[in-house]
Amino acid sequence: MNSFHHLRSLTAAAGLAAFLQWHGAAADEDTIDVVTSFSILGDMVAEVGGDRVHVISLVGVGEDTHVFIPGPSDVQTLAAADLLVVNGLGFEGWLDRLVEASGTEAALLVATRGLDVLKVEGGDDDHDNEEDHEHGDADGHDDHADEDGHDHGHDDHADEDGHDHGHDETHDRDDHAEVDGHDDHGHGPIDPHAWQDVANAEIYVRNIAEALIAVDSDGQEVYEANAERYLEELNALDHDIRDAIADLPENHRTVVTSHDAFGYFERAYGITFLAAIGSSTDAAPSAGEVAALIRQIREEQISAVFIESITDNRIIDRIAEETGAVVGGTLYSDALSNADGPALTYIDMMRHNTTMLTSAIMAF
């Protein structure tokens, strides 16, 4: 693994290819250069930014952010950015050091700003931003927290109604320690996979629109119009997911996945997820943990187990073989699919996952 001390001493030639690729694509266009930490955020920024932004994701489609190791081209890419958009909540444990190595002057947006975070079981009750959160009702979208005070009707875009999130629109690079809130040691007590609840994705989009406007005020009308259109699509997606799950038998709404990435989906939509490993893929389950999960599947007659696109399939295959549970297909948790996959966009991903889940449960 390359150390970040080594990254700091890279010659300009080491990152020249990425730099030329970036600016060669955008040089003739009136665009701003936006770097996102991973592909799902990249899609959201592209939806809001449209033709005014050139987006590159550090962790690409089909890749695992948990185990990503930045390289020389990532240093150069980040150094050239106008805006850096990250998830935060400990998701990008490698990012603080990359920001430092790049010397970037990009504005920083932590896209999860203002949402109701979910604790990891057994986490620290005293963690910042976690005090006495009410998780809302999984049954009703209007009662779901709208964590930042918005309703989900989307008649008024967040950037147009004067709503104050209580934060600056973007953070200067000197505040980059706020990117993930941890020192590269896993996720800590917070589940970072907040995009798995579409209501949270709507907060991401509002935050992205505000950050783009702060960097490129000439594009305000474009960003607001794109965000409003995208929010309407997300609202429809949320209702469709709720309608699909409402038809499922309530006593068969438990499934098993590779890693614990669907806590927000569970909280919002009422499907229970058990996982072979925790919220990060950089750890392997012990034999005892796998055995306990197999016993639970047998005792509770859990209907389906799912492979994840970014994880090793062997644990799930073993669980399915020993329990007789059906492998319900592949879910996309932390990354979009490549061009020939079913999860080209965030909306595609959520629709695909919902179809996989409901089809497997209904077949039980």
Please report, rounded to a whole number, the percentage of residues in the chain having pLDDT higher than 90. 51
Higher pLDDT, 63 or 277: 63
In three-state secondary structure terms, 174 is helix
pLDDT, residue 271, reads 94
Domains of the chain: 4-239 (3.40.50.1980), 242-362 (3.40.50.1980)
Kindly tell me the number of DSSP H helices and DSSP E strands found in the chain.
11, 10
DSSP, residue by residue, 180-244: TSSSSS--TTEE--GGGSHHHHHHHHHHHHHHHHHH-GGGHHHHHHHHHHHHHHHHHHHHHHHHH
* E strands in 50-189: 53-59, 83-86, 107-110, 118-119
- The full 3-state SS of 5-30, as one line of letters, equals HHHHCCCHHHHHHHHHHHHHHHCCCC
- By the 8 A CB rule, do 102 and 22 touch? no
Its pTM surpasses 0.85: no
Average pLDDT over residues 4-19: 39
* C-alpha torsion angle, residues 237, 213, 32, 56 (rounded to 10): -30
Q: Name the pLDDT band for 335 (thresholds 50, 70, 90).
A: very high
pLDDT in tens, 14-30: 344 444 444 444 444 68
CA distance 220 to 7: 36
**Over 90: is that where the pLDDT of 218 sits?**
yes
pLDDT, residue 29, reads 60
Phi–psi pair at 149, nearest 5 degrees: 95, 0
pLDDT in tens, 162-183: 333 333 334 343 333 334 333 3
Higher pLDDT, 272 or 132: 272
Nearest residue to 238 via CA among 141, 138, 312 = 141
Give the count of alpha carbons within 13 A of 104, CB side only: 31
pLDDT, residue 151, reads 43
CA distance 269 to 184: 31
pLDDT in tens, 61-115: 989 998 899 999 999 999 999 999 999 999 999 999 999 999 999 999 999 999 9
- By the 8 A CB rule, do 83 and 242 touch? no
What element of type H or E holds 256? strand 254-259
**Over 60: is that where the pLDDT of 2 sits?**
no
Tell me which range, 115-124, 162-171, 305-314, 327-336, is most confidently predicted by mean pLDDT. Answer: 327-336
Q: Are strands 118-119 and 190-191 parallel, antiparallel or unpaired?
A: antiparallel
pLDDT, residue 285, reads 59
Residue with tokens 């935060």: 88
Q: Which of 29-43, 51-65, 131-145, 232-246 has the lowest mean pLDDT?
A: 131-145
pLDDT, residue 309, reads 56
